[in-house]
Amino acid sequence: MPTPYQTGLMWFRRDLRVQDNAALYHALKSCQQVYCAFVFDREILDALPRADRRVEFIRESLVELNAQLQALGLAHTGAPVGLLLRHDHATRTLPVLAARLAVDAVFINHDDEPDSLARDARVQSALQAQGVAFHSFKDHVVFERDEVLTLSGKPYTVFTPYKNAWLKKVDAYYLKAYPTEKYAAALAALPGDEPREVPTLAELGFEKTNLSALKIPTGSQGAAALFDDFLGRMARYQASRDFPALKGPSYLSVHLRFGTLSIRQLARCALAQQQAGSEGAATWLSELIWRDFYAQILAHFPHAAHSAFKPAYDAIAWAHGDKAQALFDAWCQGRTGYPLVDAAMAQLNQTGYMHNRLRMVTASFLVKDLGLDWRWGERYFAEKLNDFELASNNGGWQWAASTGCDAQPYFRIFNPVSQSEKFDPQGKFIRRYLPVLTGLPTPALHSPWLASPLELAAAGVTLGVNYPLPLVPHDEARALTLQRYAVVKKG
């Protein structure tokens, strides 16, 4: 059967893999020859700190992706296949590249973040002016946009009925893999003047981070190794996921963010294990469904990216001024005086990762103990998290702040001490990230200000000197929060 196009261009973005890639599959199947490109988009990169683990993760994953394309080219065509790489503004360089290669169509996978949609619209407009078709496909989630709606055709804004509808709709069709390798013979040879290697971090204007020291696996091979490891632990996920000192999570979130593995593969495996009776798999599948849920919320309600999902909550008067800034700085630095909060922030600052239970605890503390605008914390997480994606980060912060859809009630306020005692009972996590407190007996570790002078002296802890006193008393802060939220009639 003849293909619709002679020449196509696959533009990789947050889908850095060959296997089971929707846009790559459609490009290879629809074109006689397909070039592959990635743009280090300066519109994004120029705003980042010069040492950013995400840039290094992307760069290392591209090295593997480039090698995989080269291997496919050798195996199927014998041609020197690889990535066309650009360090420029995508809106400028994509139309130029398409013209240079004389492509008939450009293929991408959807990215529904507001800035990305605006970027893609500008690229599409420029390509259409050149007579180049632009095709976009679902790849980052299982269900998106209007695929799971209420019986009245409205988007779901409460998770449980969304989850039930999701589970009712999902089947083998939606979870099947795209057999990209089957059509790899369509991969086109790189033009002779194109570099064969991925630029170094230095060439991109960035510095090395501690990514390799942290042993964070990159690329699709790293993702596959992590998933294989998690498969042996998935059945215990429900029991272990809330305890940050345990190896409970999958640690796949950064790979989902950059598409180094397929969400369809993960959901397919989790669903099969759930159907076989695994409670751990059922709980983990729910987390994947939450990801879809927040993605469709952002697609339907883009205002949530910058303001409260529930507009009434924008009336809350958050703390402001120099004192508020000082409180925020202490929170960012892990200097709140509450060990679990401070250890969590140390984990984030040192590694770019934070355990999910601790994301809830630290967010609740910022908003409901310190009285600070949730958007401050959301922005800080956006800067620091290796796995940052707007929909999930925004959804999580608005859940904690009670401003979002299906959020916790405003009067639910995490107690940082009881959370510490419940989810880090032996203090292993706290001791890992707050070595200054290592010598304290475990009961005192959760609330050092209640420790006896003898215990503090024996541990070498001087409150207010080498470990801070609490920024605020939790009970008083809770009372102030209830007053602050009183402007909202319904939580």
Instruction: Give the CATH number, domain containing residue 131.
Output: 3.40.50.620
| pLDDT value of position 489 | 65
Based on the fold, state whether residues 225 and 328 are members of the same structural domain.
no
Please tell me whether residues 273 and 329 are part of one structural domain: no
**Residue 383 a catalytic site member:** no
Q: Considering 277, 300, 323, which residue would you say is the last residue of a domain?
A: 300
Whether residue 378 is found in the same domain as residue 317: yes
Q: Is residue 210 part of a domain?
A: no
pLDDT for 411 equals: 87
Q: Could you tell me if 362 and 450 lie in one domain? A: yes
Residue 185 lies in a domain: no
Asked whether residue 165 falls in the same domain as residue 275, the answer is yes
**pLDDT given at position 320:** 95
Residue 449 is a catalytic residue:
no
Domain identity same for 348 and 255:
no
**Structural domain count, the chain:** 3
**pLDDT computed for residue 490 by the predictor:** 54
The active-site residue, picked from 181, 210, 279, 318, is 318
What is the CATH classification number for the domain harbouring 231?
A: 1.25.40.80
- Quick check: is 194 in a domain? no
Q: Which of 140, 159, 185 is the last residue of a domain?
A: 140
One domain, residues 477 and 424: yes
CB atoms within 10 A of CB 236: 15
147 flagged as catalytic: no
Catalytic residue among 290, 331, 376, 399: 290
Q: Is 318 annotated in the active site?
A: yes
Catalytic residue check, 397: yes
Q: What is the mean pLDDT of each run of 10 residues along the chain (491 residues)?
A: 90 98 98 98 96 98 98 92 97 98 98 96 98 98 97 97 98 97 96 92 97 97 98 96 97 98 98 97 98 97 95 94 98 98 98 98 98 98 97 96 87 95 98 98 97 98 98 95 86 46
Residue 148: exposure state from Cβ atoms within 10 A (0-12, 13-18, ≥19): buried
Q: Which of 43, 144, 181, 287 is catalytic?
A: 287
First-to-final CA distance of the chain: 58
Q: Which pLDDT score is estimated for 136?
A: 98
Q: Flag whether 367 is in a domain.
A: yes
Instruction: Spot the catalytic one: 284, 374, 376, 399.
Output: 374
pLDDT value of position 406: 81
pLDDT at 196: 87
| Set 356, 383, 421, 455: catalytic member | 356
Give the residue numbers spanning the domain of 283: 141-176+217-300
Name the pTM for this structure: 0.96
Same domain assignment for residues 121 and 147: no
CB environment 454-487: b (16+ within 10 A), e (fewer): ebbeebebeeeeebbebbbebeebbeebeebbee
Q: Give residue 407's pLDDT.
A: 79
**341 and 474 housed in the same domain:** yes
- Residue 487 structure tokens: 């402007």
**What are the φ and ψ backbone dihedral angles of 141, each rounded to 5 degrees?**
-135, 170
Give yes or no: residues 82 and 60 share one domain. yes
pLDDT digits (tens, 9 = 90+) for 26-43: 999 999 999 999 999 999
H helix intervals, 6-113: 22-30, 42-45, 53-76, 90-101
Q: Is 284 among the residues known to form the active site?
A: no
Residue 456, domain member (yes or no): yes
Q: Is residue 450 part of a domain?
A: yes
87 in any annotated domain? yes
Residue 1 is predicted with a pLDDT of: 64
